[in-house]
Structure 1
Amino acid sequence: MTIGIDKIGFYTPNQYVDLVELALKRRIDPAKFTIGIGQDKMAVAPLSQDVVSMGANAAAKILTPEDKAAIDLVILGTESGVDNSKAGALIIHRLLKLPNTARVLEIKEACYGATAGLQYAKLHLLQNPKAKALVIGSDIARYGLETSGEVTQGAGAVALLLSAEPHILALDLPSSYYSEDIDDFWRPLDQLTAEVDGKYSTTAYIEFFEKVFKDYQAKTGLTLEDYAAITYHLPYTKMGLKALKQVLPMASDEKQTELQQHYQQETLYSRQVGNIYTGSLYLALLSLLNNDRVLKPGMRIGLYSYGSGAVAEFFSGKLQPNYTKYLDPIYYLELFEKRQKLTIADYEAQFKAQLEPIAPGQVLENQDPSAQFYFAGVVDKKRQYKEIK
């Protein structure tokens, strides 16, 4: 029996900032953004989209009535949670009208949360092979206006439907992980913007990758030659490349070229969206699968997940027969093309509005015509969500 990813859905708000324009406004050489870190555009969430509504929007695209009936586990991985107690996954569960006979929870560990959910779901499905599990990574990355991290902000959600006998990627059972208490990135409880030690975080990301990749080799006997591609958590697209270059000398010249070419395909969506924290690895996977015409069924894909603070994990899976039939690259091409570009002034105004506490009784209107669900405001300190019929 195999367990793995049966379907993948993605949602990002319909507005963005052009990073060349942002660079010029900040009096920075645009090449530092477009080449130095490898980003072109940055998704910006309106007030009417939060991690709950974005997660519901990502999942709604891929779920059939039959899928919904079989789901008995729903997990939201996020570091942008909307409540200190209640799991946002419970609201997503209600919005999607999923069975009440389901286990529903939220996981927090920086950008690693969705991977923790995926591994939990994999073990759950091994015990319950007739069921399906929904794992969502949804986040809004915020560092603040005119900060060093501003260019690595973003917003979006990825939804993974996991099942036995999956249609897209069958996950291998072994996995390697490494954890250590470090302060490379954090967000105190009284802040809506994150703190980051950028150089330290990059160093830790690479060192943790080397540790888990080496351990995975020891556990499985697999070498770099066994992978068609390796997908990475991408807070910005040059980050994963730095890690990949550490292990490239282990492979033949031909394999090195192949891995780097596939890597470019996995960065295409992230360049347009920015950092979505828990969903970033799976956005890279979706980008690879939708854009890479060289990949074939049976090829092995490696996945590297990293969450600051810090936890890292490396695992892998094999592409399934006819996996391309369960993808929709044209939909995402149109999704990106239909987005609206914000002026820098409008972006700054929206960012400042997001940092203000939402007053009780405030009502929000939907600001994204591509969305099925939206955050409608707060009544009696309770968050309200609506579906667009």
Structure 2
Amino acid sequence: MMSGAPKDVGIRAMELYFPNSYVEESELEEFNKVSSGRYTVGLGVKEMGFCGVEEDVTSISLTVLSALLKNYQIDKSSVGYIIVGSETITDKSKGVFTALSQLFDKNNEIFGAECIGACYAGTSALFNAIDWIYANWQRERKYAVVVMADIAVYAPGPARCTGGAGAFAALIGPDAAVAFEEGLRSAVLKDVWDFYKPVCGLSTEYAFLNGQLSLESYLRMLDFAYENYKRKAFKLRGIGISLSDFQAVMLHCPFSKLVQKGFGRLVYKDYMEGLQDSLVEPELLDTINKNLWEEKALPNLFFNLRIGNMYTASLYAQLFGLFHSKRQKYSPAAYTEILAARETFTNGKKCENIFSYITLLQQ
């Protein structure tokens, strides 16, 4: 076990879970009597996973964490912190992390916490886990576990096709295969009522959604976060950066066409700042954008296109697509109506040790 101050803190092992039930979006178009391609082409969705009555956010969290511990043979006594990021609650007081404690046998000396903040809650939980390692490693010598789990369900209507379900779990510690670069986080905080789930006097799991405002907020927050990120990167490194500096880019994915639109805005920003050397003529921008999208972002959406929106886990499902393509450096951004965040990761030589197991509940 490593001694001294922790270095290269990040993801040492990870696991993805998704339910075994799904619907073809093309069949959903037919069922809802909408034009062919409205979902599959207009939104860029292929399939949508959903949970049966036997599953809830607690059970899928237990499933993904149990698989993480088993598949990577993690010593349960080596874990000192559990944190869950989710916007799907089953109890207004008792957090999901308390249920996860039953997986650690006799190890009950574990700190725990829960993050709620729409889709950003997963990234918030991850940041908290990383910071816990930095703050406690020299004394505790214990790892952190982060779980992100959500079930996205919408009322009948235009948003229902953008549902989904899934859970992500990761072991956080020093000397990680996916190490987070210190000091290079960017955040934008804003209170927007585009998506919310009030609990007082209501018994529905459906969110109140202002679709147009939500799309605008996603793109606006992404703009601000990218600008802040560039400023911080220049302050730390003394050089400007662009998407060309990353071998892969991931954005939070409610549906792929929104990710593509957000990616295009980042390319355009780089172009306007003169950071894309290859963008010589404005008329070439669409072609360059398409090429960059297909090279750096689209391959990572393999699971998202087939599972749908997993809220907190949607960004991190793209890690699996990333490792399939064996890239070594990437930059993701997570969005919610409250906050957009961006963090740089540098993948070390231990990538082969983190290639994850995909857990699918068998009938």
TM-score when scaled to structure 2?
A: 0.85
Q: Which amino acid aligns with 1:223?
A: I
Tell me what 1:143 maps to.
Answer: 154
Partner of 2:124: 116
Deviation at 1:262, TM superposition (A): 2.3
Partner of residue 359, structure 1 = none
Q: Determine the structure 1 residue equivalent to 2:285.
A: none
Report the 3-state secondary structure (helix = DSSP H, G, I; strand = E; otherwise coil) of the residue aligned with 1:220.
helix
- What is the RMSD of the two structures over their aligned residues, measured on CA atoms? 1.9
What whole-Å deviation, never above 9, does each CA across 1:196-223 have from its counterpart, x for those lacking one?
A: 1111111111110110111111111251
1:218 pairs with 214, 218, 231, which one?
Answer: 231
The residue number in structure 2 matching 1:173 is 183
- Corresponding letter in the other structure for 1:263: A
1:60 aligns with 2:89: no
2:311 aligned residue (273, 277, 284):
277
Aligned mate of 1:133, from 115, 140, 144: 144
Q: 1:315 to 1:198 in 2, by over 3 A?
A: same
| Contact persistence 2:184–2:343 (CA under 8 A) | yes
Post-superposition Cα deviations, 1:112-156, rounded to whole Å, max 9, x if no partner, equal 1111111111111012233211111101101123x1110001111
Alignment partners' CA distance in 1, 2:80 and 2:263: 37
Out of 202, 216, 222, the residue aligned to residue 215 of structure 2 is 202
Q: 2:349 aligns with which of 307, 321, 324?
A: 321
CA deviations over 1:239-267 (Å, ceiling 9, x no partner): 11111101213124488534542211111
| C-alpha deviation, 1:322, in angstroms | 3.5
Q: Which amino acid aligns with 1:11?
A: Y
Residue pair 2:180, 2:343 contacting (<8 A) in 1 also: no
CA 37–98 in structure 1, closer or farther in 2 if over 3 Å, else same: farther
Report how far residue 66 of structure 1 moved.
3.8
Whole-Å Cα distance in 2 between the matches of residues 98 and 205 of structure 1?
Answer: 43
Counterparts of 2:57 and 2:181 in 1: how far apart (Å)? 26
Match of 1:230 in 2: 249
Unaligned runs of 5+ in 2: 1-6, 235-239, 271-275, 280-287
Per-residue CA deviations over 1:39-78 (Å, capped at 9, x if unaligned) read 1111110111111111121122222454422111111111
Separation (CA, whole Å) in 2 of partners of 1:98 and 1:121: 22
Distance 1:194 1:165, change over 3 A: same
Whichever residue aligns with residue 157 of structure 1, its letter is A
Q: Classify the secondary structure of the residue corresponding to 1:60.
A: helix
User: Residue 312 of structure 1 aligns with which residue?
Assistant: 340
Out of 106, 109, 115, the residue aligned to residue 114 of structure 2 is: 106
User: Contact 1:135–1:159 at 8 Å: present in 2 too?
Assistant: yes
Matches within 5 A, 1:347-386: 368-369=361-362
Alpha-carbon shift at residue 174 of structure 1 (Å)? 2.0
Aligned-partner residue type, residue 195 of structure 1: F
Output the amino acid matched with 1:144.
A
Distance 1:99 1:30 in 2: 54
Tell me, in whole angstroms, the C-alpha distance in 1 between the residues paired with 2:105 and 2:38: 45
Q: Structure 1's 78 and 16: CA in aligned 2 closer, same or farther, altered over 3 A?
A: same
Distance across 1 between alignment mates of 2:61 and 2:344: 24
Unaligned runs of 5+ in 1: 336-367, 371-389
Asked if structure 1 preserves the Cα contact closer than 8 Å seen for 2:66 and 2:103, the reply is no
SS at match of 1:176: strand
Deviation at 1:98, TM superposition (A): 7.2
* Corresponding position: 1:50 with 2:56: yes
What is the rounded CA distance, in whole Å, between the counterparts of 2:189 and 2:28 in structure 1?
36
Aligned position for 2:193: 183
Alpha-carbon distance in 2 for matches of 1:181, 1:226: 32
Task: Please give the alpha-carbon distance, in whole angstroms, between the structure 2 residues aligned to 1:98 and 1:176.
Answer: 39
Aligned to 1:346: none
Cα distance, 1:96 vs structure 2: 4.7
Q: Is the 8 A contact 2:8 2:179 kept in 1?
A: no
- Say yes or no: does 1:71 pair with 2:79: yes
SS of the residue corresponding to residue 53 of structure 2 reads coil
Question: In structure 1, the residue corresponding to 2:42 is in which secondary structure?
Answer: helix
CA distance in 2, matches of 1:263, 1:34: 18
Deviates more, 1:104-113 or 1:30-39: 30-39
- Structure 1 residues 30, 289: closer, same or farther in 2, change over 3 A? farther
On the 8 A contact 1:4/1:164 being kept in 2, the answer is yes
8 Å CA contact retained: 2:58, 2:99: yes
What is the alpha-carbon distance in structure 1 between the residues aligned to residue 185 and residue 170 of structure 2?
18
